[in-house]
Every structure is written in C-alpha cells, then in structure tokens.
Structure 1
Amino acid sequence: MKRATLCPEHVLPEHRVPPPWPGRPVRLDGSVIYVRDTPATGPTAEPALYVHGLGGSSQNWTDLAGLLAHRLEGQAIDLPGFGRSEPGARYTVPAFAERVVRWIEHSGRGPVHLFGNSLGGAISVHVAGLRPDLVRTLTLVSPALPFLDFRRSLQGRLLPLLALPRAERLAARRLAQVAPEVMAQQVMEACVADLSRISEQRRQEALEEILVRYQAAHYASAYVRTFRGLVSSFLRSYLPGSGSLWRLARAVRAPTLVIGGRQDRLVDVRVAPQTARVIPDSRLLMLTGVGHVAQLEVPRVVARAVLGLLDETGEGVRRSDLAG
C-alpha cells in the first residue's frame, strides 16, 4: 500500500454542475437494466463502469464521470431493484457481481476502469478478484468490505429487522410513513459530512430519486434483502471458504485506488485502510471532513486521485498526450 497521488487541479475541467447523464433501459438476460452514458470528450478515452451503493443509483456518479470524461468514457448502471432497473431474483454480493460481469461482457467494452462505492465497492472487489481480465484499474470509494462492529454504522439499527420474517413489509410501511422530502434529507445527512457542498440541483435530484423509490413496489424488499445479503457476506468473510471478500481482495491484481472519508457514518472508517493493506497494488486516500460518498461531496478531489492513478499506471490518456 502507498499514498495516493493527486494530479494538479488545473488539469480538470472548469467547475460546473451537469445534469444527470442520459439514461436508457437495456434488456439483459430477460430483465431490464438501466444504464447512463457519459460521452468521452477525448479521442482516446478508455471505458469505465461505475457501480453505486446500497440505496443509491447511477446518478451518484454524475459529477465524477463528467470530470473524467476527457480520459474515460463512462457508463453507470442501476443495480437490479434500484434506480430504474427492474428487480432481481437474488440480492447477494455474488449475484450483483455476476450482473456487473454480464453487463461488461454484453456491452463489449471490457476490460474497464471499474469504480464502486459502498456496496458497489464490495461488488467491484468481487468482480476484480474473480475476473481480472475485465478490469484495467479499480477505484473503491468507502467500500463496504466486512466489519463486525455495526455500532460504527447508522445501518446497525436495521440488524434486528433482518431477523423478522416480514421485514420487507415493515420496511415498506416505514417508507410510506415518511414524507419524501424528509427521507431525502435523512439520506443526505447520513451520507454527507458537509451538506453545504451539495448544490441545490443535486438536492432536487436526490428528492426525485426518492420519489422513484416510493413508486417502485419492489424497492423496500430489494433494500432489505440486499442489506441482509451484505451482512451475510460479512459473516462469511471470517469463515473458511472461497467466498470471503477479504480473500477476493487479496486476489485483485488491478492497480487500485481506495478512498475513505474520515466522517463516514455508514462504513467503519477502518475499512478503507484495511482494504488498501489487503489489495496488493493499492493506493490509499483518506479525506478529513468527508462522509460516505466522496464522489458526490468532493468530486474534484476524487477525480484528481483517479487521474493520479491513471498517470502512475500508464492507463488512459496522459496529460502530455492532451497537451500535444
């Protein structure tokens, strides 16, 4: 493990708040997956794929994908049951990873620069560990790799819910009782350390995403079942067997950037450094005053770290190429 390097600020495009990138439904293996495309602004940009976290969507990557468009031609997907994708049959980390692998194969864009936040980080580690041929570089933002002290997570209070036989119904009832505006604010407060960094446009988009969840009858079930699958993967990671996320992390061969927020309220802040220690070719960036979704809260810092990774490893278009 080594310290992440940041490219100079002036390399990035001027600050702006782009709207969500255009999206489209795609039928894959009998169900619909929703994909957003961030068109490349450079002639030799390489393919990238962005994977969101639990309760998130492809919109979580709008700013970062735009900042990297001169180097990376991005796609962000809604995982099954989330955003605008149809529900899935299973909501486990391996099942989600299989879906990501199938999308990379179906799109014919591999190998890709793979990005994952939170649950998406665990999924991306699974993909990179089992299918190194599909991953050029790996960037993990607050990856939800295993930790056992759920007192360090706001989601720890949901653990008793998982033991109840009708947990999905209870979650749906709770969702119906909270006004969308209140829910959007609660989500922001849980994920972001400094809300002043979030523009009014992003706040309105977050509310629109919440309204999509309220209209999706499957959402509460998808959330609870996914959380149950994530906790199950945590427990299996400390038992013998090939399914351990920590064992898969040790098998990752792609150059990797791990980013953690020191004010993360959803994933134990010790996880990011541990992930960087376990993955062989890794770089670590810990951000003071930042929460669970650094790509939303401080996208320019995250972009600088990603470009530093690409420059160091020789991936993507180098700044000298752009200047030439």
Structure 2
Amino acid sequence: MKRATLVPEFTIPSPAQLPARWPGREVELDGTVTFIRDTPAQGDNVEPAVYVHGLGGSSTNWTDLAGILASRTDGPALEGQAIDLPGFGYSGRARSYTLDAMAGHVIRWIEHSDRGPVHLFGNSLGGATSVKVAARRPDLVRSLTLISPAMPFLDPRRSLQGRVVPLLLLPNATRLAARHMSSIEPEALADMVIDSCYGDPARYPQQRRLEAIEEARLRHQVPWYAEAYVGSLRGLVSSFLRAYLPGEGSIWRTASKIKAPTLVIAGRQDKLVDIRTAPQVARLIPDSRLMMLEGVGHVAQMEVPRSVARAVFGLLNELAAPVAEREQEPVRARVARVRMAS
C-alpha cells in the first residue's frame, strides 16, 4: 500500500455549471431490464470505465465525477457507463440480491458491452461488488477504484445502518421496510439520505437535492424497491459474517487476490462504513493506493468529486507511464513525488 498520487488542482476540468444527469437507456440483460447511463468522452486518448453505485443509490451517484473524468484533455479520459444495479434506479428486479449475484450481473454487463478491460469504480455496496468482480475476472478490469467500500466490520455502532440489522431476521422485513418508506415524504427521505451520506450536508447543491427528491419519488413507485433494499442489505450482512469464517467464502480472501492497480478512497466522517475499513482494504490488496479525506462522508465522488478526480488522474498517469519507467523508478523518488503532490 502507498499513498495516492494527486495531480495538481488546476489541471482538473471545471465546468461552468453542474451537468444534468447523463442520458440513460434500457438494455435487456439476463432476462431483465438493466438501465445504463453513458458519459461520452472526447478526443483520441479515451479509455472505458464502469461505475457501480451503493445501497439505495443509482447510476446518478456518479454524475459529477464521471463528467470530470470524461472531459480531460491532457491525458487519458474515461468514457463512462454507470449501471443501475438490479432492483435500483430504473433497472428491473432480480432473483437474488447477494454480492455474488450483483458481481455476476456487473461481469455480464462488461462482457455484453464488449468494452473490457475497464476502469471499474464502486462505492459502498458497489465497492464490495467490484472487489468480487476484480478478483473473479481480472481480464475485465484495467484498474479498480473503491470509494468507501462496504467491506466487513462487526461493530454495528460504527454505522447508522446498524440499528436496522436485527430487523433483517424478521420474515416480514420487506413488508415492514416498504410500509416505513412509503410513510416518508420524498423531500424528507432525500434529506435523510443526504444527512447520512455527506460529511457536510451544506455541500449538497440545490440542483442535486431536487434530483434526489425526484429519485425518492421513484422509489415510492417501484414495487420491488424495498425487496431490493432489504435483500441487498441481507447480502452485505451475510458477507460480513462469512468474512471471518474459514474457507474461500471470505471477501477478505477475495480482496487479497485482486491483481488490478487499485485506488481506495474514504471520508473520515463516514457515518455508514467504519472508517478503519478502507486502510484495511488497501493493506490487503497487493497493488493499492490510499487516500483518506478530512470532513468528507460516505460518497466522496458526490461530495468532493474534484478531489477524487485528482487521485484517479494520478492513477491513470501512473498506468500510462511506460512499464520499464515504472519498474526502474527508485522507491525513494516515488515516495517523494507522492508527498509533493499531496
């Protein structure tokens, strides 16, 4: 593990205004509808990327970061495809919401789109899903960026979600969740999500809040949303428990097999994932870089997209350098360069 390399702030594209949500399309995949949002990139130096959102989120969680990464002109730009996981956003329901099922769905999308190997990004649930994708199919992943990945921790006090975990044991948990969600007005639900995911909710632009309210309304209209939410949370909790048991079912053992160059990012004010988790993930993945962000919460790609982009471009620059140059660079010089960039 080493510290993430950051490109200078002034090199990050700065749009005059926040972009609208990127256009989306429905694709038939495994007999169900999968919704994809495309972020086109310009120029000749373009590489493919896939973005995977977290629990309760959607492809719109990547709007700002994907736009920045697609608009670069002084190095590799990323042409993104953000996926709505089964049951979320505009995608159809799934037979299973386990991490293995989610990872299999992402793998099949990359194969279906015929764009691999891709730069794979995952946040929260999408981070844990992406860990499994990268380990299972290294041929499909050029690099891996994990933002507050929902990897195992056993202290429920470290997460706002901890209080609802016992309810997952109830046979009618999905019905109870649906009833509770339907009782909350979209505006209140959007504000609850913002407060839980942001280190500083004041950073949330009004334009994005209005979009979040619209997504909250969509959740009221999708009959399987509670099923997807509860099923995915159960899948995560199951992976947490199995992580500390013997055998190949541990997601920690899975992470240790990742071969792709990996960037791990987390906010120190994360209210949903234990902040000690990200350094543990970075220590375990062989070729990893770590960036911890002060004053930032669970969705750094939304709260501080420019800071995240600086680290992503640093990784892309590193990968673009000739192999011989990377291998011959003295370790001391490499460390010095990281410190200067920070």
- How far residue 74 of structure 1 moved from its aligned partner, in angstroms, is 0.3
Q: Does 1:40 align with 2:41?
A: yes
How far apart, in 1, do the equivalents of 2:96 and 2:156 lie? 24
Matched, 1:212 2:213: no
1:173 to 2:173 alignment: no
Partner of 1:184: 190
Q: C-alpha deviations, 1:86-110, integer Å up to 9, x for none?
A: 0100000000000000000000000
How far apart, in 2, do the equivalents of 1:58 and 1:45 lie? 21
Which of 308, 319, 330 is the equivalent residue of 1:313? 319
Gaps of 5+ in 1: 317-324
- CA–CA separation in structure 2 for the residues paired with 1:240 and 1:302: 35
Equivalence for 2:13 = 13
Matched letter for residue 146 of structure 1: P
Equivalent-residue separation in structure 2 for 1:213 and 1:315 (angstroms): 44
Report the secondary structure of 1:253's partner residue.
coil
Matched, 1:245 2:246: no
Q: Secondary structure at the match of 1:127?
A: helix
CA distance in 2, matches of 1:14, 1:168: 43
Which residue pairs with 1:114 in the alignment? 120
Measure, in 1, the Cα distance between the counterparts of 2:83 and 2:232: 16
| Rounded Cα–Cα distance in structure 2 between residues aligned with 1:41 and 1:190 | 35
What is the aligned partner in structure 2 of residue 322 from structure 1? Answer: none
Partner of 1:50: 51
Amino acid at match of 2:116: G
Which residues in structure 2 correspond to 1:138-153 (within 5 Å)? 138-153=144-159
Greater displacement, 11-20 / 109-118: 11-20
1:265 aligns with 2:268: no
Could you tell me how far apart the structure 1 residues matched to 2:193 and 2:202 are?
Answer: 15
Equivalent in the alignment of 2:325: none
> How far 1:243 sits from its partner (Å)?
2.0
SS state of the match for residue 256, structure 2? helix
TM-score of the aligned structures, taking structure 1 as reference length: 0.96
* CA positional deviation for 1:130: 1.0
Answering whether residue 26 of structure 2 is matched by residue 25 of structure 1, we say: yes
Count how many residue pairs are aligned between Structure 1 and Structure 2: 316
**Partner AA of 1:12 in structure 2:** I
Equivalent residue of 1:37, what SS? strand
Q: Which residue of 1 aligns with 2:333?
A: none
Residue 264 of structure 1: SS of its match in structure 2?
A: coil
Which residue does the alignment assign to 1:321?
none
Report the residue type matching 1:281 in the other structure.
D
Which residue, out of 269, 284, 287, partners 1:281?
287
Distance 1:268 1:315 in 2: 34
The equivalent residue for 2:141 is 135
Q: Deviations over 1:69-128 (max 9, x none)?
A: 031010000000000000100000000000000000000000000000000000000000
SS in structure 1 opposite 2:281? helix
1:194-247 deviations in Å (ceiling 9; x for gaps): 122111110111111111111001001110111001000111111112121101
Question: Does the residue aligned with 2:210 lie in a helix, a strand or coil?
Answer: helix
What do the CA deviations read for 1:239-292 (whole angstroms, capped 9, x no partner)? 112121101110001000000100000000000000000000000000000000
> Counterpart of 1:149 in structure 2: which amino acid?
D
CA distance in 2, matches of 1:42, 1:219: 39
Specify the code of the residue in structure 1 equivalent to 2:92. E
Report the equivalent of 1:90: 96
Q: Which one-letter code corresponds to 2:128 in the other structure?
A: A
Q: Which runs of 4+ in 1 moved over 3 A?
A: none
The aligned residue for residue 4 of structure 2 is 4
CA distance in 2, matches of 1:58, 1:248: 25
CA RMSD of aligned residues (A): 1.1
**Which residue of 2 is the match for residue 196 of structure 1?**
202
| CA 1:116–1:315: 2 relative to 1, 3 Å | farther
Give a deviation string over 1:7-56, Cα, whole Å, max 9, x none: 11222212431000000000012110000000012222100000000000
Give the SS at the match of 1:68.
helix
C-alpha distance in 2 between matches for 1:237 and 1:277: 16
For 1:91 and 1:104, how far apart are their aligned partners in 2? 19
Question: In 2, Cα distance between the equivalents of 1:283 and 1:311?
Answer: 13
Mapped partners of 2:225, 2:283: distance in 1: 35
Deviation at 1:183, TM superposition (A): 0.6
Alignment TM-score, normalising by the size of structure 2: 0.91
Tell me, which stretches of 5 or more residues in structure 2 are unaligned?
323-342
Between the aligned partners of 2:201 and 2:230, the Cα distance in structure 1 is 26
Shift of 1:315: 7.3
CA deviation string 1:125-159 (max 9, x = no partner): 00001110000000000000111111100000111
In 1, the alpha carbon distance for the partners of 2:258 and 2:270 equals: 24
SS at match of 1:32: strand
